[in-house]
Chain A
Amino acid sequence: MDLSIFGAMSTPIQVRGLVKRFGRALALDSLDLEVASGEVHGFLGPNGAGKSTTIRILLGLARASAGEVTVFGRDPWKEASALHRLIAYVPGDVSIWPNLTGGEAVDLLGRLRGSPDDKAGYRGRRDRLVEAFQFDPRKKGRAYSKGNRQKVALIAAFATPADLYIMDEPTSGLDPLMEVVFDREVARVAAEGATVLLSSHILSEVEELCDRVSIIRAGRTVESGTLAELRHLTRTQITFSAEGQVDMAGDALKGAAAPGSLKGIPDVHDVIVDHGRLTFTIDSDRVAAVLPELARRNVQGLTVAPPSLEELFLRHYGDEIVPGRTSERAVAAARV
């Protein structure tokens, strides 16, 4: 069965209305996800949103309770073994065999994937990755730290070519230097035409690597699109020195009470004067219109920060951060 031809032709990941129940608990509540061929897709959500559950279903390790899930056009539960020849998987918390060395574990995982015919090519890639990740392959599994166990899975994944890379918070435990190596490898496989699904709760990681992102929350997709599309939904932050702008600051504070009334600058939001600096946000497509106004006032120390996904993220999950019922429950429990 030549799956690679098949793989190139169909959508790598297509999920519609995916539901997963664990007993009475609803882990995934009609989740949608579509990953096109050759794209690096960010899969974002806070802990417990259902990222890992979705990934386990995509790998055929868990079965969907309802909904449609296909990987390269096939049912991952029924055809797991055949699909896994096309997929490289990196879990977020890697556990390796205590009495095998890291190098042995890498080779074993590679062979289990169905190692390619060119042994020399595999050797070369593996040795290069061992070098790049500064990994000591001779230590026994039990002696590795979390970051080093993570490297075992990463090296095994990148050393054998795959059509689809599924990675569940793959950089947890890696130091920033190693994250750079990881980014480079993702860029390399993407350039070679592979598809990557990268789950994360670290936004900067996704922001740098991904073409498109899907944001999920409580088992449901809340936002999906290219970064540009999502940035459209976020606001740009503008900050400058408040010194000599007392009137404006005064106006600004009034403006905070009634958004939109800042003299000469329409539609400003979140105005704050703090440590001698004035900050406000504005819809990103209005930035150009605001700049002449700021120039007219001769503002000093101007910074214009591009919109970050962080903001989008907070907007979707912001209410979870606000204290409320959780703390009341905690108080009630403490009384008991």
Chain B
Amino acid sequence: MSALGLLLGLRLRRDRVQLALWIIGTAALALFATVSLADTFGSADERRTLLALAIATPAVLVFRGTPNGAGLDEVTFFAIFAFLALLAGLMSTFLAVRHTRGDEEQGRAEMVSATSAGRMTPVLATLVHGIGANAVLGAAVAVAFVAGGLDATGSGVAGAAVAACGVAFLAFGLFAAQVLRTSRGANGLSVAFVVGAYVLRGLGDAAGTASPDLLSVTPAWPSRLSPIGWAQRTGAWNQNDLMPLLLDLVFAAVLVAVVLALQSVRDTGASLLAPRAGRATAPAALSGSFGLAWRLTRAGVLAWAVGAFVAGVLATTLTTLVGRIGEQAPEVAATLGRLSRAGSTLEQALVATIFSLVGMLAAACAIQVMIRARQEETSGTAELLLGSSPVGRLRWAATYVGAGAVGIAIVLLAAFLGAVLGAAGGGETSAAIGDAAQAAVGQVPVALVFLGVALVVFVLLPALTVPLTWSLLGLATILGIFGGLIGLPEWIVDLSPFANSPVPAGDSVDWTGGVWMLVIAAAAITGGTVIAGRRELRTGG
């Protein structure tokens, strides 16, 4: 078999689980969106009201796209396409970086390039692999739309649009891998580009011009600078025009040409931008095991905090808009009501909904800190620390619990500050700020529960730390935050910690669930730390 074929096989082999999850997840989102829109906005009148409302509140267009007709299929494209393109972009850039810069950084590329594969074949194999992955993704999305009862031609166009975006971002990922020295840096640049393309399209869409019948919007110029904006102009199920996708493909072709040119002249392992020299001596903050744990986790914590801050801004900014929805579109209000607990006002429901997402971010932050402890254990650096300092196993584990707690506090505080800023920007009353403060404090128990659960998993089933903790969080999020929306029975929804967070309802807050979760979290953290003190380091399974 040729080197290209072998390397392609290697890539498929390495990615088989990961890519299958990305593709199935993205297609499932497409299907879920179609079904739930058909369910919630079954009649053309309801959809017209929805579009009119969306056009009246550009903030919605930022996250969704531009309306392009009131048919169920057209509304589906408006509501979900940008998300699908975003997911295709992240899948593609991670894939591109993983197989190029990632391998170079690890030294594997050197061994492969010293065979007949040479320097170019690994890049070509990654390109073919990425295009193939996007073709499958596009087909899966198209099938999902057809399965949701939408017209096949439009489904095909929508699938092709998602795939074309993916290919454009794939090319950018390959480019970032050429430019930066580390896979971490290349992934960061790529994610910034993908999210930037999404936001640029959002701004352009929000600033667009609405048609007189309030059924469609022509995006403003910023959308025309974004690969997602180009693909959106296919107008799936309406114009069904594939021509705009040429822009995505030409963009990809130009970047690939640059990538191949760079790859053919640069040394393996070298990069266009040289890394800066770091500091020669440790700063004062880097002393002791907590200083180290914080240093290793702070970048992640800050990233989650930025997300939480944005969510906080949205929570209070959207509150103003919700009042209007409540008057004009009772069915939207009803949807929001289903997402939250009974007895809340609409504003409270919205703040609570968004803050349960903030709670999820805080829990994710806590999980990531515990995963860092696991990574320290597998990479051997924990052994180095424990073996060469008076820090014991118990204190070492407790250090990460402490870092996780600090992370949770920072994430929730960022969300609260965002909410205060959003409320101030919208000229809102102090009532909204009070609700936000309560909602933020209300997320402390659920985040601590996940910190405790992640610690217990890490201590008892270390090999499963990464998959099990993320799966538990994902399951709890789907059940607790979206379970009501997809009509699950209440007792199942209540299994999720998120469903038990104390939320403001009317003038009072029910803290029962919160208190119970604090008790559980305290037990898990105490037990986990004690066991950590007795357990030997486990680098393998």
A residues contacting B by CB (< 8 A) are 23, 56, 59-63, 80-82, 84-85, 87, 89, 91, 93-97, 99-100, 108-109, 111-114, 142-143, 153, 166, 333
A81: chain B residues within 8 A (beta carbon): 3, 116-118, 121
Q: In the bound complex, do residue B113 and residue A95 qualify as a contact, i.e. CB atoms below 8 Å apart?
A: no
Interface residue? B535 (CB, 8 A):
no
Chain A minimum-CB-distance residue to B119:
A80
Residue of A nearest to B121 (CB): A81
Q: Which residues of B contact A87 (CB under 8 A)?
A: 114
Q: Please state if A63 and B265 are interface contacts (CB–CB under 8 Å).
A: yes
User: Is the Cβ of A109 less than 8 Å from the Cβ of B113?
Assistant: no
B267 and A61 contacting across the interface, CB-CB below 8 Å: yes
> Are the C-beta atoms of A84 and B267 separated by less than 8 Å?
no
Contact with A153, one of B7, B111, B121, B280 (Cβ below 8 angstroms): B111
What are 19 pairs between A and B in contact, CB < 8 Å?
A23-B274, A56-B267, A60-B113, A61-B113, A81-B3, A82-B116, A84-B116, A84-B118, A94-B111, A97-B10, A97-B108, A100-B10, A100-B13, A112-B6, A112-B117, A113-B115, A113-B116, A114-B115, A143-B540
B107 interface hit (Cβ, 8 Å): yes
User: Contacts A61-B119, A81-B117, A333-B280: A56 and B268 contacting too (C-beta < 8 A)?
Assistant: yes
Please give me the residue from chain B that is nearest to A153 by CB atom: B111
Minimum Cβ distance to chain B for residue A79 (Å): 9
Prevailing SS type, chain A contact patch: mixed
How many chain B residues touch A (CB < 8 A): the figure is 32
Chain A: minimal CB distance from B149 (Å): 39
CB within 8 A of A62: which of B3, B121, B268?
Answer: B268
**Cβ contacts under 8 Å, A61 to chain B:** 110, 113-114, 119, 267-269
Task: From B7, B106, B540, give the contact of A95 (CB < 8 A).
Answer: B106
- Establish whether residues B107 and A95, one from each chain, have CB atoms under 8 Å apart when the complex forms: yes
Complexed CA–CA distance, A93 and B105 (Å): 12
- Is B37's CB within 8 Å of the partner chain A? no
Q: Is B281 engaged at the interface, CB distance under 8 Å to the other chain?
A: yes
Q: Given A23-B274, A56-B268, A112-B6, are A93 and B107 also a contact pair (CB < 8 Å)?
A: yes
6 smallest beta-carbon distances between A and B, as pairs: A81-B118, A62-B267, A89-B114, A112-B115, A61-B268, A95-B107
A23 to B7, CA, bound (A): 32
Q: Which residues of A contact B540 (CB under 8 A)?
A: 143
> Is the Cβ of A89 less than 8 Å from the Cβ of B119?
no
Contacts of B269 in A (CB 8 A): 61-62
Q: Of the candidates A85, A95, A153, A333, which one forms a contact with B116 in the assembled complex, judged by CB atoms under 8 Å apart?
A: A85
Are B111 and A84 in contact, with the CB atoms below 8 A?
Answer: no
Query: Which of chain A's residues have a CB closer than 8 A to the CB of B107?
Result: 91, 93-95
Query: Which of chain B's residues has its CB closest to A166's CB?
Result: B114
Closest residue on chain B to residue A107 by CB atoms? B6
Q: Which of B27-44 contact A (CB under 8 A)?
A: none
In the bound complex, how far is the Cα of B13 from the Cα of A84, in angstroms?
Answer: 24
B110 near A84 (CB under 8 angstroms)?
A: no
Q: Kindly count the residue-residue contacts between A and B in the assembled complex, taking CB atoms under 8 Å apart.
A: 87
- Cβ of B1 < 8 Å from any Cβ of A? yes
Q: A61-B267, A80-B119, A112-B116 are in contact. List 6 more A-B contacts (CB 8 A).
A: A60-B118, A87-B114, A97-B108, A100-B10, A143-B540, A166-B114
Min distance, Cβ B203 to any Cβ of chain A, angstroms: 39
Write out the residue numbers on chain B whose beta carbons fall within 8 Å of the beta carbon of A142: 378
Contacts of B280 in A (CB 8 A): 333
Find out whether the CB atom of A112 lies under 8 angstroms from the CB atom of B267.
no
A97→B14 contact, CB < 8 A: yes
Chain A residue nearest in CB terms to B5: A111
Known: A63-B267, A153-B111, A333-B281. A111 touches B1 (CB 8 A): yes
Docked pose: A59 CA to B267 CA in angstroms: 11
Separation of A165 and B416 alpha carbons in the complex (Å): 63
In angstroms, Cα B115 to Cα A89, docked, is 8
Nearest residue in A to B17 (C-beta to C-beta)? A99
B112 within 8 A of A: yes
**Max chain A Cβ within 10 angstroms of own Cβ: one of B13, B111, B119:** B111
Indicate whether B413 reaches chain A with its CB closer than 8 angstroms.
no
Kindly list chain A residues whose C-beta atoms are within 8 Å of the C-beta of B378: 142
Look across to chain A and name the residue whose beta carbon is closest to the beta carbon of B16.
A99
- Give the CA-CA distance A213 to B118 in the complex, in Å: 28
CA distance A113 to B2 in the complex (A): 10
Q: Contacts of A63 on B, CB cut-off 8 Å?
A: 265, 267
Complex-state Cα separation, A6 to B36, whole angstroms: 68
**Nearest chain B CB to A259's CB is how many angstroms away?**
43
Most buried by B among A63, A82, A333: A63
The one of A56, A62, A95, A99 in contact with B108, judged by C-beta atoms closer than 8 angstroms, is A95
Interfacial chain A residues near B118, Cβ < 8 Å: 60, 80-81, 84
Chain B residues closer than 8 Å to A94, beta-carbon distance? 107, 111
The answer, among A60, A82, A112, A166, for a CB contact under 8 Å with B112, is A112
Within the assembled complex, what's the spacing in Å between the Cα atoms of A85 and B13? 24
Which residue of B has the minimal Cβ distance to A113?
Answer: B115
Smallest CB gap from A85: residue in B? B116
Using known A-B contacts A84-B115, A112-B6, determine if residue A96 contacts B267 with beta carbons closer than 8 Å: no
Please pick, from B6, B113, B121, the residue contacting A111 in the complex, using a CB distance under 8 A. Answer: B6
Does B270 reach chain A (CB closer than 8 Å)?
yes
Q: How far is the CA of A88 from the CA of B295 in the complex (A)?
A: 41
Point out the residues of chain A lying under 8 angstroms from B14, CB to CB.
Answer: 97, 99-100
Measured CB to CB, the closest approach of chain A to B295, in angstroms, equals 21
- Say yes or no: B119 contacts A112, CB within 8 Å: no
Are A114 and B281 in contact, with the CB atoms below 8 A? no
| B116:A60 contact, CB within 8 angstroms | no
Cα–Cα distance between A80 and B108 once the two chains are bound (Å): 17
Identify the closest chain A residue to B106 (Cβ).
Answer: A95
> In the complex, what's the smallest C-beta–C-beta distance from B271 to chain A, in angstroms?
12
Question: Which residues on the B side are within 8 Å of A89 (C-beta)?
Answer: 111, 114-115
Taking the nearest CB of chain B, how far is it from the CB of A104, in angstroms? 8
